[in-house]
Amino acid sequence: MSKSTRLLIAGLCSLLLASAWLWHLFATSPYFSAKHAPTVQQDSQPITPEAKSGAPTENNTTAGDYEQPQHNAVEGGGSFVLLTAPVWQFSDNFSSHVTALFTAASEGDINALYVLGMNLQFCYYAPSTPKQLDEALQQASSFSDVSAATARIEHRYAYCEGTHHQVNKGYYDYLDEAADKGHVFAQHAISRLTVDRYMDSQGFTSLPRDDFIEKRDAFVARQRAFLEQAVAQGSFPAMKRLAGLHHAQQTGSGGYVNAFALNQVILTLTDDNELYNRYNWLQQRLQQTLSDAELTRGYAQAETWLHLIRSHGTLVTDEN
């Protein structure tokens, strides 16, 4: 083999080795790997959280079940049980149920305590004698809706006939016991009582001034405590009433901050657009009034309320 032939073969071998090295270098580069990697088909179907059980199907309060898109009724897809007010009035005369109710209430039946208290309260303010009925009807004759007023008075008299005024006077004790045991609608009933009606029905109006003030203040404090317990059970009526008391500065210092917190809870939980818009307007006004530090406290209080409400797992939209 000639020298020139040997040089040609050596050159070809060197060229082949260089080509192989360059191909290996290119094939292992990130660009080549990305361009030629196998394609993985991604599932485009969205993953939706499973709705939690617990709320009635007709009132399922998960966020996705609400038709209005303006705001979430319940954050995070949680579910609540909607508590509805029991019907406390009977279709016939109340006196025919009194004995059974007193028996059940004495045994600690919380619903019996509530129903008994509501009926005794209703009958306490009803005419209890024919003379009182005539006087009430005479007074109603001057009303613009005389027919409706007369019908209401006559129905109340017939419903409560056979009950005793002094027994009816004890309505507060039964409602208070039911409220103290956590009956949210009894808590509503206590919170709606005016101070004057409470003091009069309990015979406190003739007390010495200092004793009168002590009884009055104790009742107001108890009303507020029951409202706070009802809020923790998700009661919108209690939220609205307590927020109003705070905003009116009837609960001591920090009223606006406390009102802001409850307004925020209402905005977070409600699915009622009219209610949402009204409290959103109130909230915007408070935001212009409160300092940054006060707003921070208000939001923190709202989160505390929401934690309590979620732990109870209930919502209440009914008053009674």
Query: Which residue has tokens 């009724």?
Result: 73
Task: Tell me which of 185, 208, 232 is where a domain ends.
Answer: 232
Mean pLDDT to the nearest integer, 114-123: 97
CB atoms within 10 A of CB 182: 15
Tell me: pLDDT of 304 over 90. Answer: yes
Cα gap 131→114, rounded to integer Å: 30
The total number of structural domains that make up the chain: 2
Exposure on the CB side of residue 298, measured as CA atoms within 13 A: 25
Predicted local confidence at residue 319, as pLDDT: 81
Tell me: pLDDT of 100 over 50. Answer: yes
User: Is 151 in the same domain as 131?
Assistant: yes
User: Is 121 in the same domain as 211?
Assistant: yes
Tell me: pLDDT of 288 over 70. Answer: yes
Predicted local confidence at residue 102, as pLDDT: 96
User: Is 193 in the same domain as 134?
Assistant: yes
Predicted local confidence at residue 22, as pLDDT: 41
Predicted local confidence at residue 60, as pLDDT: 31
Enter the pTM of the model.
0.73
Q: Return the ∠ at Cα 16 (arms to 11 and 19), rounded to 5°.
A: 125
Mean pLDDT to the nearest integer, 232-254: 93
| Residue 215 DSSP SS3 | helix
Tell me: pLDDT of 166 over 90. Answer: no
Mean pLDDT to the nearest integer, 194-205: 94
Alpha helix (H) residue ranges in 193-232? 195-201, 209-232
User: Is 220 in the same domain as 202?
Assistant: yes
User: Is 193 in the same domain as 64?
Assistant: no
Predicted local confidence at residue 55, as pLDDT: 27
Predicted local confidence at residue 117, as pLDDT: 97
Tell me: pLDDT of 120 over 50. Answer: yes
Q: Which two tokens stand for residue 266?
A: 């209402």
Whether 32 is in a domain gets the answer no
Task: Tell me which of 215, 232, 249 is where a domain ends.
Answer: 232
Whether 5 is in a domain gets the answer no
- Domain extent, residue 292, equals 51-83+234-320
User: Is 207 in the same domain as 135?
Assistant: yes
Cα gap 212→223, rounded to integer Å: 17
Q: How many residues does the chain have?
A: 320
User: Is 215 in the same domain as 269?
Assistant: no
Q: Which two tokens stand for residue 232?
A: 């923790």
Tell me: pLDDT of 188 over 60. Answer: yes
Predicted local confidence at residue 56, as pLDDT: 27
Whether 239 is in a domain gets the answer yes
Predicted local confidence at residue 9, as pLDDT: 52
Tell me: pLDDT of 46 over 70. Answer: no
Tell me: pLDDT of 269 over 90. Answer: yes
User: Is 156 in the same domain as 282?
Assistant: no
Q: Name the amino acid, one letter, at 309.
A: I
Q: Which residues of 84-115 are buried (b: 16+ CB within 10 A; e: fewer)?
A: ebeebeeeeebbeebeebeebbeeebbbbbbb
Predicted local confidence at residue 320, as pLDDT: 78
Percent share of the chain, pLDDT over 90: 68
Whether 25 is in a domain gets the answer no
Mean pLDDT to the nearest integer, 1-23: 49
Please list the residues that pair with 81 across neighbouring strands. 314
Mean pLDDT to the nearest integer, 35-42: 31
Task: Tell me which of 202, 232, 262 is where a domain ends.
Answer: 232
Mean pLDDT to the nearest integer, 64-89: 58
Whether 24 is in a domain gets the answer no
Whether 7 is in a domain gets the answer no
